[in-house]
Amino acid sequence: MFNATSAPAGGVVLDWRHATIGPLAPCVLCGLPALCRSPVKDTPCHKRCAEAWITSHATSPIHLAHLIAAHSARSPNGGA
Ligand SMILES: [Zn+2]
């Protein structure tokens, strides 16, 4: 039986469709040049770096969901 409510381990996928692009600047997580800006903090950051950071810092499924929500852009329309 599948458990559809639990996030797969290492399967963090952030919704950064609304993330902006800026000049190349060091990623705040890995230090390599990044074009992508965090939609929440507006800092240079690779989406995959943010996803990896969340995966490594989450201490529980609830904490994981909280981190994902905290680092995803809020959609004003509530959906695509
Ligand atoms: Zn990075």
**Chain-centre distance of CA 71, in angstroms?**
5
| Ligand 1 mean position, distance from CA 14 (Å) | 14
| Ligand 1 mean position, distance from CA 3 (Å) | 32
| Ligand 1 mean position, distance from CA 35 (Å) | 10
| Ligand 1 mean position, distance from CA 64 (Å) | 20
- 44 by DSSP, 3-state: which? strand
pLDDT tens column, 16-63: 988 999 999 999 999 999 999 999 889 999 999 999 999 999 999 999
Tokens describing residue 55: 């995966």
pTM as predicted:
0.76
Cα 16 from Cα 9, distance rounded (Å): 20
